[in-house]
Structures are given as C-alpha cells and as structure tokens.
Structure 1
Amino acid sequence: MMMQSFRPLAQISRLPLAICFVALLAGCFGGATKPQPAELQPVTALVSARQSWNTRIGQVDFPLDVAVSGTSVAIASGDGTIALLDAATGREFWRASLNTPVAAGVGSDGKVLAVVTKANEVVALQDGREIWRQKLNAQAFTAPFVAGARVFVLAADRSVTAFDGQTGRKLWAQQRPTEPLVLRQSGVMLAVGDTLVVGLAGRLAGLNPANGSIRWEAPIASPRGINDVERLVDLVGRVSRDGDNVCARAFQASIGCVNAARGSLLWAKPANGMQGIHGDDRMLFGTEADGTVIAWRRTDGERSWTTDRLRYRSLTAPLIVGRSVAIGDFSGFIHLLSREDGSLLNRLPTDGSAIAAAPVLAGNTLIAVTHNGGVYGFKPE
C-alpha cells in the first residue's frame, strides 16, 4: 500500500501557545500569569513504600514509555542509550548505544526491543545488539508495539506499519488521511485478542495484524472548531484495558470506553486532560490539564471523586498500585493517592527533576524515570 506524503510539523510553530507539542508537558497555560503549582502539604505515610534501588540513564527529552516484560524493564534516553534492567534489583542485563537520538520508545515483547530515532528509523535490538533498522516515511512519537513476532509502528501521519520482528522486512502499511497538526506525544497501540487496536485521530480502530485491514472503528472524540488547532483531536497513551473493554483519552476533549471485540463505543464523557488514563474493573483514573485528579466509574463514565491537591503540578498519567494511584509531577515526586477517595497516602522523592514517563509496575516494584535520567525502584504496599 502506497503511503501519502506527510505535512511537516513545522507548521505548528507558527501557532504560538495554541497547543503544547512537547511530549512530557502535562500543563499548557497561556496568558501573562502562569498559575502557581499547589503547595505540597506534609504527609503522613498511610501506605508503606521504600526506595529499593536507583540507577541512571541519559537525559529523557522525548515521549518515553517504560516497557515491562515480566520482572524486567526496558528504558531509553534521548541520546540513544537503551538498557534492560532487572526490576527487582535495578541490575543491568545489558546496555547499548544507538549513537543517534531517540524520538519514541521503548516497545518490547521480552525478547525484541524497538525504538524510533529522530532520523525516522525504527531500530530493533535483541540481547543488547542491534538486529535491524528500517527507514520510516514520517516521524513517530509513539513507542513501537512488539507482539506476535512483529514490530508495529504508529507514525505521526496516521500510518501504521508492520515489520518482521527478526528481519525488519516490511509486511504491510495502512495509511489514513493525513492532517495538518499532530501531537508530539505518545499515542495508542495495544493488542486485544487477535486484533491490533490503534488510536487514529479521535477514533480507536481495530486492525487485522496479519495484513493491516481495518475491522472496526469507534469514535471517542470528533474534530470541532473552524481552524486546524481547534479541530486537532488525538488519542493519547496510556490506556486502561479490562478484557475486551478498552478506555482511552482524547487530548483535551473526552475520555471513553470501547468494546474491542465488537468495535462499539460504550460511552464517552467530556474531559480536559492531556495525559492517558489507567484503571481497574470498577474505576478509571486520570489527570486533567489543570492538575485535578478525577476518578470515573468504568461502567458509565460518571465521576466518583475529584481532588485538586496537585493542581498545576504538571502531572503524568496515573498508575494503579495496590490500593493507591501513583502519579508523578514536575518536581520529581511520585504521589500515592487513595483509589477510594483521592486522599494522600504517601509521597516518594526522586532527584528533583520532572517525572519523565508514566510510572510502571514490574512484579512488585514501582518504577519511575526522571527527566535528568534517574531511574528509581520502589517497593510499595
């Protein structure tokens, strides 16, 4: 399938303050006076969590996804350093350098790791060595998805391309209509059964992973407004999956849930957030652009609770950890909030720089990566 040309992202720079196109930015505020971040109040630890290890990677200046496979985690830095760590101890299994800056990553199935470089190349590694790289026709800001002996890449021109995981041979490409503006932020790709579920503009789409044909589409948000900025709509990672039920956020527009077996929209609700969501079989959790943290009922999207104790602190997407919701902020803290009511249960420090990726859980270790390259492992309750 032929791929259409990609309109350059440089167009965006001529629209100051319209939208934040920085991958790790969690707040975007215009005007002369920037809102002041909420002051952190003293905390009494109501759940235990101790730092068990820390290590370092290079500075993280791109939309990093920390890839978890079993009890190992794969991380990357902006300068092209890739490392695979033991989540329990922080010990390195291996570390490699691509000698070129990274634009998106990391994707992994536990064997093959993949990233996208700023030179628009998808690079695959195994056991610490590069096994192939292939040129893309467009930029990519979403970590490659590695599954079924394939590497899938979602590019900024709405194309999805599949490569053989061992050889890098291009298997197929699915191209959707291009749009003038896109987000420099991680999008959505995951597997649900035998379907590759991808975020395409404001829709979740189910693709046949064997040939790229589209099985279904379900809209979570639709373009609005009269100009390109107002009409920009994109789904952003992370997402929350419970069986066939997949819930996602449309950037500054809405959240919604889709039945990925039937390809039907279950519900969608207005929401003004910029980061992905997480949840369980009962609840969904997310952070709004102003730092308000919200819990929604998974069944119908009605709000269960909200808290503004972290307003304007440039929050990451959340992560469920035991009875807590873990959220990172711009000053390097991981905040543990109660899943039941949003009350503060604990606060975990790192190196003082912004948390650069949504926290992840590998085994029983909570892992956070900072903008300055600190990697921290915590043992929560």
Structure 2
Amino acid sequence: MGAGSGWAARGAGVLLRRTAVVAVAAALGGCSLWGGSGAKPVPADLGANVPVLGVRQAWTARVGTPVGTPLEVHAAGNTVTIASADGVVAAIDARTGGDVWRVSLAEPLAAGVGSDGRTAAVATRSNALVVLDAGRERWRQSLGAQVFTPPLVAGGRVFVLSADRTVTAFDASTGRKLWTQQRSGEALILRQAGVLRAVGDTLVVGLSGRMVGLNPDNGTVRWEAPIASPRGTNDVERLVELVGRTSREGDSVCARAFQATVGCVDTVRGGVVWTQAASGSEGIHGDEQTLFGTESNGVVTAWRRSDGTRTWTTERLKHRRLTAPLLLGRSVVVGDDSGLVHLLSRTDGSPLNRLPTDGSPIGAAPVVAADTLVVVTRNGAVYGFRPE
C-alpha cells in the first residue's frame, strides 16, 4: 500500500552567533512568536472532538530519555529512524513498532537522523559526524563547527551542513572527506534544522536566505535562488535562514525562510518561481497542487503551488505552538505543544480528527511510513496511528 493511500480513502529556533549563544536574540525570537507582550496568549477551546476521519493508535514505542528536543524523524520504506538528544538511535518498523535495530552512542546529539534506509548519520554536540551501518558504528569524523541539520545520506556519500554555513561531503563507506564548500553569511544563525536534500543530480542547500544548487561530485555552485534577503539594521533583524522541512514535486522545491517568506524554486533553471510573505518558523509540506504551513501564531495556511496564491487559512489552532505540517491523503497533520495531533482537511482546514499522545509537546514534524502516521513527543514516546 502506497504512503497515504489508506488515509485518502477514508517553535521558533534559538539564535546563535558563530562562536557563542546570544541570550537576547533568543528572547527576541520568543517575542516574535507571541507578539512581544511577554505573556503567552491562551489558545481557544477546541471543543469536542468529532472524528470525521477514523484513526486508531496501532502501536507505541520509546526512544531515549527526555533530554532536550527530539531530533528529526527519517522515514524510508517501512522504517522510521529516530534519535534522541541523549544519544539513542533507533530504526523502528512502522508496521509493528518494533526495533529493526537500536544503539546507544552514550553521548549527546545535536542533529539527526539522516539515512538511506541502511546507513544512518547523526552529529554529536562535540562536533563529530557519526555514521552507522545497521546499528553498528562504521566511522566518525570531527567537524569544524556545530551541526543542527540532519546529515543527508545519498549516492554513497554523506553530506553535512554546518552552522558556519559550510557544506562537506564524505565517502559513506570510508569516511574520507571528498570536498568542502563554505559560504559567509550574517553573524547570527538558527539553532534549527536547515535545508539539505538531493534533487536529481543536484545537492540543494539552504545558505542564509538562498536556495543553492551544488554539484554533489565536487561542491561547485550550479545556481542560486534568493527566497529572502536580509533586512533591518542589526544582526537580529537581518537574520535570514531557510528552514526544513521542504516540499519537492519533480523539479520544484518549495521552502520557508524563517519569519520572512515562503517560496518555490525551479531547480532546473535555478530560478525563483514565486515568494509570498509569511511569518513562520517551521517548514512546509505539500503536493503538486497545494503547499501547507504553520505560522508562528498557530494559524495554518494553504498556498497554491503554481503561483503562491493563498487558498485558505484557519485560526482554529491559533496560539498553539505547531510543528511543520505533513500532507497525508486528505489530511494536513500538525502536532501542538499540548501533545495533540490535529488532522485538518486539505481543502479548507476544517477538523477531521484529533489524536492524544502523552501530554508533552509533539517534538518533531510528523512522518508517514508503511501507511502509518508516526509522531514523536518531547518525552521520547513514539506513536504509530493508522486509518480505520
């Protein structure tokens, strides 16, 4: 059964300087989320849950202990690969919730997981890239800077986007460094996953507010497309970064620039198709017709992929900290900071169902594998849901 077939049938990043944390910048980032008043607005009551789309909890699992924020979840085939901040990396069979393999690296992690279905890669807080083969450490390499974006494992190589805006390629088998491409940028960066993905024979990377196409064989730049440009007079106001997740359909890749814009790029000619102002901090998702995103105030928005025209918005989840969305069949799936998973209609944002978890915030964007919706909470619980 194809991903989403059964479903169709029935926070803000912390800002860092290159060398040190800037506390005032983190505080300002919080103000941008909640309107600058210093008090979090109270979300509206959701009312009774009236399921329009039947969904059941199929299984639960755990990964690591509740230390920090859970890292990104990677889905490939029937397997989801998950890492915890305290160093546990697990590949879980989405059909059963059982482990395919699990390992504890016994050291804190900063980014992960990247995987091609067998080889998995994570970055530690001590700036080491660790590559695993079926749960066994294959090799590790020291990195020159912190990493917040999950490494990309593709084409027999491991690609890393570091916080100093350096892109590095390693041989996946041996760990040999193949090439490095470095780009200067603004003084501040986000402690948040950026853009790093393969599109055909091009490595697509977010560097500041630009989507950049690199030759994966040698790191040379093929094209650059600006999604957003720095504005303002100080470092905080001038911060501009592309954030994951992204939406790819053929040669079209669409992404969000933190608290600035949403836009789409034609990766063949390397040109911007359109951009629209949007004040969000999480990535976007969609298909060939529509893109979906969650704004920093909890408003969920849909845009027409062809030209960026806004097709609907809903304020039903306003003032709830939402994850990046997942388009799954007829549903747009988002998690919130109270541990609820919301299924909204892709056509108008109306509620289809609401799924409880353990009460801690949903800590990563939902994914789908083996027709199973997989979500991870901040407390390390993993849930698998299926359509009834």
Q: Deviations over 1:26-77 (max 9, x none)?
A: 9455323321123222121101111000011122524621111101010011
1:37 and 2:47 equivalent?
no
Q: How far apart in 2 are the matches of 1:182 and 1:9? A: 10
Correspondence 1:7-86 to 2 at 5 A: 8-15=18-25, 17-20=27-30, 27-58=33-64, 59=66, 61-62=68-69, 64-86=71-93
1:380 and 2:387 equivalent?
yes
Q: How far apart in 2 are the matches of 1:161 and 1:328? A: 32
User: What is the percent sequence identity of the aligned residues?
Assistant: 60
**How far did residue 9 of structure 1 move?**
4.8
Contact 1:17–1:30 under 8 Å retained in 2: no
Change (3 A) 1:11 1:81: closer
2:190 aligns with one of 183, 186, 197: 183
Contact 1:207–1:213 under 8 Å retained in 2: yes
Q: How far apart in 2 are the matches of 1:51 and 1:102? A: 29
Q: How far apart in 1 are the matches of 2:25 and 2:245? A: 27
Contact 2:43–2:320 under 8 Å retained in 1: yes
1:130 and 2:150 equivalent?
no
**How far did residue 194 of structure 1 move?**
0.1
Q: How far apart in 1 are the matches of 2:25 and 2:265? A: 33
1:279 aligns with one of 273, 286, 290: 286
**How far did residue 103 of structure 1 move?**
0.3
Correspondence 1:92-131 to 2 at 5 A: 92-131=99-138
Contact 1:104–1:117 under 8 Å retained in 2: yes
Letter in 1 for 2:206: G
TM-score w.r.t. length of structure 1: 0.95
Contact 2:185–2:208 under 8 Å retained in 1: no
Contact 1:62–1:104 under 8 Å retained in 2: no
Letter in 1 for 2:61: T
Q: How far apart in 2 are the matches of 1:324 and 1:16? A: 33
2:146 aligns with one of 139, 144, 156: 139
Unaligned runs of 5+ in 2: 1-15
Contact 1:63–1:186 under 8 Å retained in 2: no
2:274 aligns with one of 251, 264, 267: 267
Letter in 1 for 2:270: G
Change (3 A) 1:267 1:60: farther
Q: How far apart in 2 are the matches of 1:29 and 1:169? A: 47
Letter in 1 for 2:60: N
Contact 1:87–1:377 under 8 Å retained in 2: yes
Q: How far apart in 1 are the matches of 2:139 and 2:56? A: 39
Letter in 2 for 1:31: S
Change (3 A) 1:60 1:361: farther
TM-score w.r.t. length of structure 2: 0.93
Q: How far apart in 1 are the matches of 2:81 and 2:304? A: 32
Change (3 A) 1:315 1:9: farther
Q: Deviations over 1:69-93 (max 9, x none)?
A: 1010100111100001101111101
1:209 and 2:219 equivalent?
no
**3-state SS of paired residue (2:169):** strand
Q: Deviations over 1:99-129 (max 9, x none)?
A: 1101010000011100000001110001111
1:87 and 2:94 equivalent?
yes
Contact 1:321–1:380 under 8 Å retained in 2: no
Contact 1:60–1:370 under 8 Å retained in 2: no
1:172 and 2:179 equivalent?
yes
**3-state SS of paired residue (2:187):** coil
2:251 aligns with: 244
Q: How far apart in 2 are the matches of 1:261 and 1:27? A: 35
Letter in 2 for 1:270: A
Q: Deviations over 1:113-155 (max 9, x none)?
A: 0000000111000111111111110111000000001000001
Q: How far apart in 1 are the matches of 2:307 and 2:266? A: 13
1:3 aligns with: none
**3-state SS of paired residue (1:229):** helix
Q: Deviations over 1:313-355 (max 9, x none)?
A: 1000000111000000001111000000000000011110000
Contact 1:134–1:168 under 8 Å retained in 2: yes
1:344 and 2:338 equivalent?
no
Contact 2:85–2:108 under 8 Å retained in 1: yes
Q: How far apart in 2 are the matches of 1:131 and 1:156? A: 24
**Count of residues in correspondence between the two structures:** 372
